[in-house]
A and B are shown apart, each in its own frame.
Chain A
Amino acid sequence: MQTPDLEKLKACQHVARLGVQETVRAIQEGWSEQQACHYLETVLKDLGVDNYFHRPFAWFGERTRFDGIRLYPQFKPRKDRFLKPDEVVILDVAPLFQGVSSDIGYSFSLEPREDLQTAKNYLKKLRETIRQNFETKGVASTIWKTIARDIEANGYDVIHRRYPLQVLGHRLYNHPQHSSHFHFMNFGLEAYKSLLMGGVISEVISPYFQKSVEGIWAIEPHIGKSNVGSSFGAKFEEILVVENGQARWLDEEFI
C-alpha cells in the first residue's frame, strides 16, 4: 500500500481538526455520545468527507477511561449516555479525504477541570518524548514499552493497552477516492484492507511489533486516572512522520 502524499494528509487532518473543533463549540450538556458523533459526521460531510477509515467515536465521563467497556461493541457511541457539564469528553475520528485517511483524537470538558488540564499538560510533554523515542529506539515494541513505563511513572494508567492489539499507533496510507462505504463496528473497509494487506503486526505500534518504524503514523497515547467518583481518560491523536531516522509531527501545534 502507498504512503500518503504529505500535502493531502495535511489537508485531511486539517478537515478532521475543523470538524472536531466545531463539535467542541457546539456540544451541550445533555447530548448523547451518539448525538455528538452524528453532529461531527454532519460537519465533516459539509467539509467534503463522505467516507471513513473509522467513523467518529465519542466517550463521556468514566467511559473516557474505558470503565465498564469489556466487549468491542461497547466502544461504540451510546445513545443513552448523556453529557454532564463537569465530565471529560473524548472525540476520535478518522476521515477519508482526497484519497488519504487521517486520524484525530481530542479531549476536553465543558467546565474547566484542573485534573484534565494536568493530564493534557503531561500529554503535551509525552508528545515530545514519543517523537524522540521514534528517533532513538527505532523498534515499535521498545517504543511502546518505554512510553507505557513513562505513563505509569507519572501516575496514569495506560488506557491504550485496552485497544485492539494494545495499539499506541497505526500506519496511514493512500486509499481509493471512491472506496466502499461498508463499515463494521465503526471501522471502514479501508481499515480492514490495510490491516490485511500490510500485515497486522507491521501496521501498528504495539508490544509485539519488532520491525522498523519508518513511515507515517497516527499516534494515539491514551492515559487514565481513577479518581473516586470522577474517573477519566485523556488522549491525543496526531500524525508522526518518520523519514531516514528523523521523526516530526505533521502539525507542530499541539491541540
Chain B
Amino acid sequence: MIFYVLLHGFPDLPTIWEPLLKSLPKGQKILTPNLWQLGIEKNKPISSEKVAAKIYFDLRKQGFGENDQLIVIGHDLGAVYATELARLAPRQTMLTLLNGLTPQMLLARMQSGTQILKSWYIWLMQLPLLPKGLLLLDKKLPARIARLAHRPETPEMCSKEDLVHGLQMYRKLFRESLLLRKSGTRKIKKIILIWGVQDPFLNSPTESEFSPLAHEVEIHLLDNHHWPQLHSPEQVAHIIHANT
C-alpha cells in the first residue's frame, strides 16, 4: 500500500493541500497533520526529530509496515519535518520537497548574497520579543507578506495562536541547525524537488545540495512562485504520480 504524508509550511495550515489532494490518486492512506499542534508540547516547541517520531507512530497506527511505500511531501518549513520523517523509513520513502530546505542547507546557502537578502525574515524571527510583538500587534502581517509573494487568498492561513507556535518552531529549528548533524545516517531512496522558480524567499535548488540526503535526486523547476501546490496542483500531482 502507498501512504502519503503532506506537511505544510509557515504560515499555512493543512488546508493548503486541498487543491493537490483532488489530483492525487484515490484510495490511498493520506495524512495531513497540523504541525502547529504537533510541534508544541507544554507551550514549548519540540525538536524536529520528535515531531517526526509522532507522525511515524501515527503512520504505524494506520497500518504502515515494512512492505508499504511512503511518499512524504513537505512544503516550506514542512520540508524540515518531512526530511526527518523520511529518515525514519529511508528504504521505503520517496521524499518530495516543494520550495523547502533543511535548516542546514539554508545555512550553507547563506554564502550567497541573494539568498541572504531573500531570507531577511528568518533573521528577523531570531530577535527576542520583536517578531512575536509584531505578530500580536498585526496578525494580518504574514498574510500581507504572503500576498506580496503571490500566495492566493485561499486557503486560509493559520490563526494568531498558530502563528506564535510557528514562530517558536522556526526559532527552535534555527537553533537545531547550528548543531551540525554528523554523517552516517542512511540515505533516503529518492528525493524529488518541485520548485517554483519565481520564489521570493528561496533560490532554486541544485542536485549537489541534496545528493548527500538521497541516492537519487530529481529536480523539476516550474514557472511558479513559492506555492507550486496552489499554482499548479495537477502538474505537481502528475510528477509525484509518475514516480510511484
Q: Does B88 contact A31, Cβ atoms closer than 8 Å? A: yes
Binary contact track B144-181/A, C-beta < 8 Å → 1, others 0: 00000000000000000000000000000000000001
Question: A19 to nearest B CB, angstroms?
Answer: 11
Most buried by A among B52, B89, B185: B185
- How many A residues have CB within 8 A of the partner chain? 21
Q: Is B214 an interface residue (CB 8 A)?
A: no
Q: Is B4 an interface residue (CB 8 A)?
A: no
Q: Is B121 an interface residue (CB 8 A)?
A: no
Q: Is B241 an interface residue (CB 8 A)?
A: no
Binary contact track A23-49/B, C-beta < 8 Å → 1, others 0: 001101111101100110111001000
CA distance A28 to B90 in the complex (A): 9
Q: Is A22 an interface residue (CB 8 A)?
A: yes
Question: B232 to nearest A CB, angstroms?
Answer: 33
Q: Given that A34-B49, A42-B53, A80-B182 are known contacts, is A28 also in contact with B91, CB under 8 Å in the complex?
A: yes
CA distance A32 to B48 in the complex (A): 14
Binary contact track B47-76/A, C-beta < 8 Å → 1, others 0: 101101110110010000000000000000
Q: Does B53 contact A39, Cβ atoms closer than 8 Å? A: yes
Q: Given that A38-B49, A38-B50 are known contacts, is A46 also in contact with B57, CB under 8 Å in the complex?
A: yes
Please name all residues of chain B whose beta carbon is closer than 8 Å to the beta carbon of A22 when the two chains form the complex: 57, 60
CA distance A152 to B54 in the complex (A): 42
Please name all residues of chain A whose beta carbon is closer than 8 Å to the beta carbon of B56 when the two chains form the complex: 26, 39, 42
Q: Is A75 an interface residue (CB 8 A)?
A: no
Q: Is A82 an interface residue (CB 8 A)?
A: yes
**Interface size band for B:** 20 to 34
Most buried by A among B53, B54, B90, B186: B53
Please name all residues of chain B whose beta carbon is closer than 8 Å to the beta carbon of A181 when the two chains form the complex: 42
Q: Does B50 contact A42, Cβ atoms closer than 8 Å? A: yes
Q: Which residue of B lies closest to A39 (CB)?
A: B53
Q: Does A30 contact B185, Cβ atoms closer than 8 Å? A: yes
Q: Given that A35-B49, A38-B49, A80-B184 are known contacts, is A28 also in contact with B88, CB under 8 Å in the complex?
A: yes
Please name all residues of chain A whose beta carbon is closer than 8 Å to the beta carbon of B47 when the two chains form the complex: 38
CA distance A181 to B60 in the complex (A): 28
Please name all residues of chain B whose beta carbon is closer than 8 Å to the beta carbon of A38 when the two chains form the complex: 47, 49-50, 52-53
Q: Is B231 an interface residue (CB 8 A)?
A: no
Binary contact track B121-137/A, C-beta < 8 Å → 1, others 0: 00000000000000000
Please name all residues of chain A whose beta carbon is closer than 8 Å to the beta carbon of B42 when the two chains form the complex: 181
Please name all residues of chain B whose beta carbon is closer than 8 Å to the beta carbon of A25 when the two chains form the complex: 60
Question: A23 to nearest B CB, angstroms?
Answer: 10
Please name all residues of chain B whose beta carbon is closer than 8 Å to the beta carbon of A32 when the two chains form the complex: 185
Q: Does A35 contact B53, Cβ atoms closer than 8 Å? A: yes
Q: Given that A31-B88, A32-B185, A80-B182 are known contacts, is A26 also in contact with B50, CB under 8 Å in the complex?
A: no
Q: Is B87 an interface residue (CB 8 A)?
A: yes
Question: A78 to nearest B CB, angstroms?
Answer: 9
CA distance A22 to B53 in the complex (A): 13
Q: Does B89 contact A28, Cβ atoms closer than 8 Å? A: yes
Which residues, 70 to 84 on A, are CB-close (under 8 Å) to B? 79-82
CA distance A42 to B85 in the complex (A): 14
Q: Which residue of A lies closest to B42 (CB)?
A: A181
Choose among B57, B89, B185 the residue that contacts A42 (Cβ–Cβ < 8 A).
Answer: B57
Question: A227 to nearest B CB, angstroms?
Answer: 22
Q: Does B185 contact A39, Cβ atoms closer than 8 Å? A: no
Question: B213 to nearest A CB, angstroms?
Answer: 12
Please name all residues of chain A whose beta carbon is closer than 8 Å to the beta carbon of B54 when the two chains form the complex: 42
Which residues, 30 to 59 on B, are CB-close (under 8 Å) to A? 42, 47, 49-50, 52-54, 56-57
CA distance A82 to B87 in the complex (A): 11
What would 30 A/B residue contacts be, using CB atoms closer than 8 Å?
A22-B60, A25-B60, A26-B56, A26-B57, A26-B88, A28-B88, A28-B90, A28-B91, A28-B186, A29-B91, A29-B186, A30-B185, A34-B49, A35-B87, A35-B88, A38-B49, A38-B50, A39-B53, A39-B56, A39-B57, A39-B88, A42-B50, A42-B54, A42-B57, A80-B181, A80-B182, A82-B184, A82-B185, A82-B186, A181-B42
Point out residues on A near B: beta carbons under 8 Å: 22, 25-26, 28-32, 34-35, 38-39, 41-43, 46, 79-82, 181
